[in-house]
Amino acid sequence: MKPSNEEPYGYYPGCSLEKNALAYNESTSAVANVLGLKFEEVADWNCCGASEYLALDILPAYALISRNLALAASSSGSHSLVAPCSACFLNLSKVDHQMAEVPALASQVNEALAAGGLSYQPGSITIRHLLDVFVNDVGFDRISSLVTHPLYELRVAPYYGCLISRPDYEGVYDSPEYPTGLDHLMTALGAEVVDFPLKTHCCGGHMTQISEPVALELIRRLLQNAHEYDADVIATLCPMCQLNLDVYQEHVNHAFGTNYHIPILYFTQLIGLALGIRAKELGFGREFVSAKRALAKIGKARPAPKKKRKPSKEALPMPQATEVEYR
Amino acid sequence: MKQERIGVYVCHCGSNIAGTVDVGQLSSWAADALEKRGVVVARDYKFMCSSLGQELIKSDIVELSLTRVVVAACSPHLHEKTFRTACQQAGLNPYLMEMVSLREHVAWVHSDKALATQKAKALISGAVERVALHEPLDPISVPIEATTLVVGAGISGIQAALEIADAGQKVVLVEREPSIGGHMAQLDKTFPTLDCSACILTPKMVTVGSHPNINLLTWSEVEAVDGFVGQFTVTIRKKARYVREDVCTGCGICMEKCPSKLIDQVYEAGLGYRSAIYRPFPQAIPKYPVIDKANCIYFQRGKCKACQLFCPTTPNAIDFEQEDQILQLTVGNIILATGYDLFDARRIPQYGYGRLANVFSSLEFERLCNAAGPTEGKILLRDGVSQPESVGIIHCVGSRDRNYNNYCSAICCMQSLKFAHLVKERTGAKVTNFYIDIRTPYKDYDEFYQHVLQEKVEFVRGRVAEVTDAARRPGEEGKLIIQVEDTFIGKQRRIPVDMVILSAGIEPRHDSKEVSRKFGISCNGSGFFTELHPKLDPVATMSKGIFIAGCAQGPKDIPASVVQGAAAAARVLGTIQQKSLDLEPVLAQVIDQKCSGCRICSNLCPFNAIGFDLERQISTINPALCQGCGTCVSACPSHAISGTQFSTEQILAQLHGLLAESFNGNGARTQSPAFSQAELV
Amino acid sequence: METLNAEQLNFEPVVVGFTCNWCSYRAADLAGMSRAKYPANIRLVRFMCSGRLDPVFIMKALKGGADGVLITGCHPGECHYLEQNYKALKRFKLLRRMLSQFGYEPERVQLVWASAAEGTYLAHQISRVVEEIRALGPLHRASDTPSFELIGDAQLQEATV
């Protein structure tokens, strides 16, 4: 639910945003300033356990994660908790959901929390991903009205990753299989969005640490697909995705004899650019695959509507959107 | 007051009722406890609706001189007529019988036998009290106007119209598209015999077009329906064609000369083009084209009139001044055969329809196969040149999927098998079907499946995860890759193909809810029209005089649609032959002596059945208009309106009876906290 | 949810349900055909239309031993008699106001719309209503409750029109 004007969003940056995803944190706060979004960081938050800890032992993992929910619920006047990192978002919402579904689990978790003088009532906090805030609270209209430096002619592949849209506990995403929120957001910035069939496929996650060949193959697929669709940049919303595609791009090129050079940028960095914020404040320059060359492509003027290549005389028309509204 | 002699009959319905309700105890209780309320006999029997069960009631009526009967069995909507007839045969007025729904409202919905039996007692007690106050009635007879309205001229509507017209009765056939034919006119071949669809449909269409008993109104829509069975008043909008039907010869020159060409979303399923003045296909009935105003250059920009210029007839057949006509007709019965919409596969974005060029919908593929279609029957990829070497056919797209529609669309399996055969036959391409289950019931269907299997078509059992052009392995470049879990080998597979056909499901028309409201019938949760009984009365609806046929009632193939069209026609012909129809004598009546003439009632009646007698200063009710809802009865401050069969006294007596036998507090049965009989009046 | 005390747990309320012939009675039929379970505490009475519902019936039912009343009908806009369920809705609202003036919980009278296709939905709603009335406890009819005939008529008529 959208907090009222006075009510700030609770903010859970997560470990990545303090280190490897510093650019995400910087760009988020820079953009939030311009848009007047108030993010109030939860005091004394701890790690969400990333994707591994849950696999080891559920109860300590849930207790660890729920501590953040308990802190958020008790500290701020906010009823929402925004996580920019997809893994954090999934862990927080999974714990909230499971505690509500399994009361026995909730009481065990609360027993553990009681040791620290805390408790958490499932459902008392709405857990949201940062993208959801931009798409559903700020809205495309408001964002496009504030764009001063549109990203004309920049071809963006919108990459959601596998963690935020499935399972979609709150029913936020239009289609869990093929979400389009980020697509529309990028269009609102003036960018040219490419169809990116692998938009919800896995980036390899922590496989880089476990089996590099597997991870590199997963990363290669994504880069190759973005390249085939002629993308200048890939827009991400997850520190893990960014890290894998960015840092390991060179490894992929080495292992497969390819020559990809696709900068992997946080969607907040692109919003920041379009809002006219200086690149330095948005954390540009921290990426391994430099964005300079791609950003130089951004055109000054709206490109003339592309002359549709006249289909050959024989070609059959593509399916058109019908006027019938979906029920 | 004379004490009525009441018989109570408890049905076991095999074990349907007897399994949950102690029927033996119930009947002996009724004989015992309700004796002072007039019950002289109570029996239970295995099947009351059987002829032996009915005999039981009949002989009791005669031998025990019963004056009232209570049958505790199934819902009155199922067997009320049966038992009323039985009473009548034994000389008892049929309206002196009351039914208690033990099966639907007790046995099937409760599990605790003691509580269910207790509830059954309460319901029977209520019915006994009520039936004592019933009055002998005669059914109301309404005349039936012989003309029938058929809405929708697809195969089902065409069949219905022809059956009725051939029997010598008048039909008004309304179709909203410029031509009749419906979806069947778009198809190439029909399963399982592979007859050419147009070859078997066109003769029927021609007959409809020239039948002296059929008034064909194409490019028309029903705007409003008033009245009730026998005398419906229907308002129809006949949209302006801008082509004079009395002059046009259907030569088609105007369509050739029209400079405005656009994609035909309806007939060509988006795969072909038409002009702004068009007739959907060469064999269209009627042959006159229509001008699609939204795309006509003259109507949009005020200049062009090419069609008028080139029209060879005198006087000119193009008439830009034509206006919509509103027709009002009286019909006795209505058949709704409004058809279906194809599931829009864009709703499953991971299947790529609308994004990936060589993903086709089933109707697109039908047009592709059709010799009159955009490729003249050649199975080609979207470039219109190359032939596919491998084709994947995905079943159940939008059907049997809780994200979209739970139901099975009934035609897709056979349709997919037909596609597989046609692809094999015409291109020799490798064909793979992706299915969940193969459903081939009905005559010669499974044989067709076996035949297709022998043609070396491959089958992979599993729901397709996605169709993508993101190549991963050598051999996948430039292909569409179908990612699927093959559930027979328990492995994920990636199968590259040139063309994907989505066997999209059948959905109710997008406006089916609106249409159902217009005609006063109901829809199920998905939006298909609801039949009176799913098995025994599949074409009637709850509204007398309104029948349904074809896919508007639920997904079905051509033979089933034809059967339903004919069945609906038979039902209509039956009532026409009777010339009149007996209706329930449920009516409101003004008791003149009690009416104070306040006229509170007259504003409440939506049928304008309540008038006012100026001379006597009292309200009057026109029995021909009254539909028996009873709203005025409950609203009259002087209790001056009574409702037959649902009178205040009857309802209060029923309440009294069922509460007298209800448990109260801690499950204990109260003797009678209920109001006394004196309070009832 | 509040916990029920022993009296409430053992209490089997009686709920009278008024149905219309075209939608809700058929929904109850469908509930049976779908074998959707609901508590045996409900007793259904059939009208042709919810517009036939005279508020007197409800008061008589409550006075006569029912602990609650459930009014059902076709969804607004889907009435077999065009618009009569709106009249039932109006009466329901006025009657609820009157009940609270009499010192009774207005929740003892409830309204549910159910189309002929909504068998399972109606079964759920019946279960809900029965449980809510169970939680309210038995309807206490003090012996000194004035007869509805004496005090009711003026208000009843107000609610009727």
pLDDT digits (tens, 9 = 90+) for C106-140: 999 999 999 888 999 999 999 999 999 999 988 87
Residue A75 CB-density burial (10 A; 0-12 exposed, 13-18 middle, 19+ buried): middle
Q: Which 3-state string (H, E, C) describes chain A?
A: CCCCCCCCEEECCCHHHHCCCHHHHHHHHHHHHHHCCCEEECCCCCCCCCCCHHHHCHHHHHHHHHHHHHHHHHHCCCCEEEECCHHHHHHHHHHHHHHHHCHHHHHHHHHHHHCCCCCCCCCCCEEEEHHHHHHHHHCHHHHHHHCCCCCCCCEEEECCCCCCCCCCCCCCCCCCCCCCHHHHHHHHCCCEECCCCCCCCCCCCCHHHHCHHHHHHHHHHHHHHHHHCCCCEEEECCHHHHHHHHHCHHHHHHHHCCCCCCCEEEHHHHHHHHCCCCHHHHCCCCCCCCCHHHHHCCCCCCCCCCCCCCCCCCCCCCCCCCCCCCC
Tell me if C59 is assigned to some domain: yes
The C-alpha angle C76, C79, C84, rounded to 5 degrees, equals 85
Q: How many residues does chain B have?
A: 681
| Of the partner residues C23, C43, C84, the one whose CB lies closest to the CB of residue B629 | C84
Residue B388 DSSP one-character state: P
Average pLDDT over residues A199-204: 92
pLDDT above 80 (res A6): no
Dihedral angle computed from the Cα positions of residues B528, B529, B530 and B536, in that order, rounded to the nearest 10 degrees: -100
Nearest CB to B265: which of A177, A313, A320? A320
For strands C42-47 and C109-113, give the pairing. Answer: unpaired
The residue assigned the tokens 């075209």 is C22
In chain B the domains, ranked by start, together with CATH numbers, are 6-137 (3.40.50), 140-239+325-339+520-583 (3.50.50.60), 246-323 (no CATH), 345-507 (3.50.50.60), 588-643 (3.30.70.20)
Cis before A167 (ω within 30): yes
Burial A125-163 (b: 16+ CB within 10 A, else e): bbbbbbbbbbbebbebeebbebbeebbbbbbbbbbbbbb
pLDDT confidence of residue A5: 57
Q: Chain A closest CA to B519's CA: distance in Å? A: 21
- Angle at which helix C55-64 crosses helix C84-101, to 10 degrees, equals 50
A315 to B384: CB separation less than 8 angstroms, yes or no? yes
CA distances (Å), origin B325, targets A67, B93, B231, B308: 71, 50, 22, 22
Assign B285 to helix, strand or coil: coil
Please report the pLDDT score of residue B149 as a whole number: 98
- Residue A318 touches chain B, beta carbons under 8 Å: yes
Show which of residues 17-76 on chain C sit within 8 Å of chain B, judged by CB atoms.
22-23, 25-26, 28-29, 31-33, 35-41, 43-49, 51-57, 60-61, 63-67
Q: Between chains, do C81 and B627 touch, taking CB under 8 Å as contact?
A: yes
Range of the domain at C49: 11-160
- With an 8 Å Cβ cutoff, are C44 and B115 in contact? no
With an 8 Å Cβ cutoff, are C49 and B630 in contact? Answer: yes
As assigned by CATH, the class of the A141-296 domain is alpha beta
Angle of the A267-274 helix axis to the A181-188 helix axis, nearest 10 = 20
pLDDT at residue B543, rounded to an integer:
86
Check if the beta carbon of residue B269 is closer than 8 Å to that of residue B367.
yes
DSSP code of residue B106: I
- The ranges of chain B with pLDDT < 50 are 664-681
Does residue C120 sit within a domain?
yes
Count CB pairs under 8 A between chains A and B. 71
A197–B385 C-beta distance less than 8 A: no
Give B107's DSSP letter: I
B29 versus A53: the higher-pLDDT residue is B29
User: Among A319-323, B181-185, C50-54, C116-120, whose mean pLDDT is lowest?
Assistant: A319-323
Provide the pLDDT for residue B347.
92
- pLDDT score of C144 more than 80: no
Q: How far apart are the first and last CA of chain A?
A: 24
Cβ–Cβ contacts within 10 Å for residue B589, how many?
16
B630 touches chain C (CB under 8 A): yes
pLDDT, greater one: B46 or A175 = B46
Is the CB of residue B114 less than 8 Å away from at least one CB of chain C?
no
How would you class B531 by CB atoms within 10 Å of its CB: exposed for 0-12, middle for 13-18, buried for 19 or more? Answer: buried
End-to-end Cα distance, chain B: 14
B105/C47 CB distance under 8 A: no
Minimal C-alpha gap between C155 and chain B (Å): 11
C155 touches chain B (CB under 8 A): no
- Chain C residue closest to B630 (CA)? C52
For residue B116, give both structure tokens: 């269910």
How many folded domains does chain C comprise? 1
Chains contacting B (3+ CB pairs below 8 angstroms):
A, C
Q: Please report the pLDDT score of residue A299 as a whole number.
A: 86
**Residue B88 touches partner C, C-beta closer than 8 Å:** no
Say which range, A218-222, B670-674, C70-74, has the weakest mean pLDDT.
Answer: B670-674
How does residue C155 score in pLDDT terms, banded at 50, 70 and 90? very low
Q: How many CB atoms lie within 10 A of CB B337?
A: 32
Which pLDDT band, with edges at 50, 70 and 90, does A171 fall under? Answer: confident
Most confident of A249-253, A304-308, B580-584: A249-253
Which position has the token pair 């801690």? B666
Amino acid in position B199: C
Residue-level length of chain A: 327
Mean pLDDT of A270-289: 95
Q: What is the pLDDT of residues B315-374, one digit of tens each?
A: 999 999 999 999 999 999 999 999 999 999 999 999 999 999 999 999 999 999 999 999
How far is it, in rounded angstroms, from Cα B420 to Cα B433? 8
Those residues with Cβ within 8 angstroms of residue A162's Cβ, 6 or more apart along the chain or in another chain: A200, A201, A202, A203
Residue spans per domain, chain A: 9-130, 141-296
Nearest to A244 by CA among A221, A269, A227: A221
**What is the distance in angstroms between the Cα of A69 and the nearest Cα belonging to chain B?**
31
Please indicate whether, in this complex, the C-beta atoms of A221 and B472 are within 8 angstroms of each other.
yes
Strand stretches in B12-77, DSSP E:
39-45, 68-73
Q: Cβ–Cβ of C45/B665 closer than 8 Å?
A: no
B635 at interface of A, judged by CB pairs closer than 8 A: no
How far apart, in whole angstroms, are the C-alpha atoms of residue C26 and residue B77?
Answer: 8
In the structure encoding, which two tokens stand for residue B314, read together? Answer: 């005198």
Q: Who contacts C1 (Cβ-Cβ below 8 Å, separation ≥6)?
A: none
Kindly determine whether residue B344 and residue A324, on different chains, have CB atoms separated by under 8 Å: yes
- Give the gap in angstroms from C-alpha B549 to the nearest C-alpha of chain C: 18
Q: Where residue C37 sits, what CATH number does that domain have?
A: 3.40.50
Task: Name which of B90, B92, B94, B69 is nearest B11 in CA terms.
Answer: B69
pLDDT at residue A311 above 80? no
**Is C2 among the domain residues?**
no
Chain A residues in contact with B466 (beta carbon < 8 A): 177, 197
Residue environment code for A85-104, b if the CB has 16+ CB neighbours within 10 A, otherwise e:
bbbbbbbbbbbbbbbeeeee
Measured distance CA(A23)–CA(A282) in Å, rounded: 6
CB contact (8 A) between residue B604 and residue C87: yes
Q: What is the CATH architecture assignment of A9-130?
A: Up-down Bundle (1.20)
Return the closest-CA partner of residue B434 out of B481, B368, B376.
B481
Q: Are B602 and B619 in contact (CB under 8 A)?
A: yes
Q: Which of B32, B36, B31, B33 is nearest to B7 (CA)?
A: B31
